[in-house]
């Protein structure tokens, strides 16, 4: 028989052993893998690889914990089917140090929790470059106006600029102003620049540079006046030169130009035939045609009684109606139609 002391010792050893899991089926699901946090302009997103099962749809739950509280709280990612969670939430401050964890669920079967590394939005988010909305140009400066990528009081801005024809770069000081002036520049010179933002905290989070943009400085009053004089002189010389060229051209090609604008008169064929053969009754035929085509106006001719009828007959042999009337003054009235 065993001794009482040995039996007591054996009982104590059995009691000190850890309890076996209540049901191994509680952890049959594999845990989510490849946990990655993406954050751009304080838009925070957690992604992971999907858990593959033969039957059913796997659901996921995401929780977060802060350094100030050793507890886990749920966000808007409970029992979701997507393999990502947007944990941008007003209750989660940008300066908090938080930890996320994810668990997969399939009915009553659940996986173990998988935690991420610590995350601080102010330090880990990527700050995009500001957007330039206006560039004011003066003879010796450029003034850039822009809007910030996010509304944060901790943001500061810097501009890197250079003359386009050279590679020597300059940088402004970090500032909170959303309008920055590039001073002591050359007039009528093209300058290129890039702008970036940073979160100004204990460890500055500096964002990437923007795309290169180029603008030219303006001209001063003296330069503009010189341009006006040059343009006026050039226009005057052009007008005078054109006038001289036109005058010489007209002198050299006078006959050609005269022919273009005043072509030679061409006699009608029936008149030309009449001149060649005066005996032809061309005039009478012409009068007959005109009488048929054109209406005649009435015309009264006042003349002496003598010779008036002979004058009319000598002038128009046909289509003339003469009406001679004696008046008290001894003159005749002849009406032509």
- The total number of residues shown for the chain amounts to 337
Query: Higher pLDDT residue, 23 or 157?
Result: 157
pLDDT tens-place string over residues 33-87: 999 999 999 999 999 999 998 888 999 999 999 988 889 999 989 999 999 999 9
- The mean per-residue pLDDT over the stretch 165-191 comes to 94
Q: Strand pairing partners for 63?
A: 74, 101
The CA-CA-CA angle for residues 330, 331, 334, to 5°, reads 150
For residues 131-135, give the mean pLDDT: 94
pTM of this structure: 0.58
What three-state secondary structure class fits 296? coil
Are 100 and 62 within 8 A, CB to CB? yes
Whether the per-residue pLDDT at 140 is higher than 80: the answer is yes
Distance CA 199, CA 201 (A): 6
For residue 255, the model assigns a pLDDT of 72
- Give the count of beta carbons closer than 10 Å to the beta carbon of residue 35: 17
Residues 85, 39 contacting (CB under 8 angstroms): no
Structure confidence by residue, pLDDT tens digits, 201-238 = 878 899 999 999 999 999 876 666 565 667 767 778 88
- Burial status of residue 62 (CB atoms within 10 A of its CB: 0-12, 13-18, 19 or more): buried
- Which of 15, 19, 108, 21 has its CA nearest to residue 59? 108
Handedness of CA 215, 219, 224, 227 (dihedral sign): negative
What are the pLDDT digits (tens) for 238-287? 888 888 888 777 777 777 777 676 666 666 776 777 677 666 555 555 55
For residues 82, 84, 88, 91, the Cα torsion angle rounded to the nearest 10 degrees is 70
Task: Render pLDDT for 39-52 as a digit per residue (tens, 0 to 9).
Answer: 999 999 999 999 99
At residue 206, the pLDDT reads: 95
pLDDT of res. 332:
45
pLDDT at residue 294 greater than cutoff 60 = no
Q: What is the CATH number of domain 22-123?
A: 2.60.40.10
Fold of 128-219: Immunoglobulin-like (2.60.40)
Residues whose CB falls within 8 Å of the CB of residue 246, separated by 6 or more in sequence, listed in order: none
- Given this model, what pLDDT does residue 319 score? 44
More confident residue, 319 or 132: 132
């Amino acid at each position: 028989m065993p001794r009482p002391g040995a039996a007591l010792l054996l009982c104590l050893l059995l009691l000190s052993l850890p309890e076996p899991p209540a049901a191994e089926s509680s952890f049959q699901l594999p845990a989510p893998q490849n946990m990655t946090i993406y954050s751009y302009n304080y838009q925070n997103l957690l992604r992971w690889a999907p858990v593959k099962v033969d039957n059913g749809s796997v659901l996921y739950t995401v929780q977060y914990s802060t350094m100030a509280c050793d507890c886990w709280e749920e966000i808007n990612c409970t029992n979701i089917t997507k393999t990502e969670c947007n944990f941008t939430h007003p209750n989660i401050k940008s300066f908090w140090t938080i930890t996320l964890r994810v668990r997969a669920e399939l009915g009553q079967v659940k996986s173990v929790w998988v935690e991420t590394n610590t995350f601080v939005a102010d330090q880990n988010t990527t700050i995009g470059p500001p957007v330039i909305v206006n560039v004011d140009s003066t003879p010796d400066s450029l003034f850039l106006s822009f809007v910030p990528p996010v509304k944060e009081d901790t943001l500061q801005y810097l501009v890197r600029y250079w003359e386009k024809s050279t590679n020597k770069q300059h940088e402004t000081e970090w500032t909170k102003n959303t309008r920055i002036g590039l001073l002591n520049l050359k007039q009528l010179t093209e300058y290129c620049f890039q702008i970036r933002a940073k979160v100004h905290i204990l460890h500055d989070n500096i964002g990437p540079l923007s795309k290169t943009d180029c603008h030219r400085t303006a001209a001063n009053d003296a330069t503009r006046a010189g341009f006006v004089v040059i343009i006026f002189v050039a226009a005057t010389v052009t007008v005078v030169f054109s006038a001289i060229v036109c005058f010489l051209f007209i002198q050299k090609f006078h006959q050609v130009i005269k022919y273009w604008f005043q072509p030679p008169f061409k006699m009608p064929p029936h008149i030309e035939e009449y001149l060649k053969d005066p005996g032809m009754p061309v005039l009478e035929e012409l009068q007959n045609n005109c009488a048929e085509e054109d209406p005649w106006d009435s015309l009264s001719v006042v003349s002496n009684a003598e010779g008036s009828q002979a004058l009319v007959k000598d002038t128009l042999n046909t289509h003339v109606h003469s009406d001679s009337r004696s008046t008290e003054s001894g003159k005749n009235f002849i009406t032509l139609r």
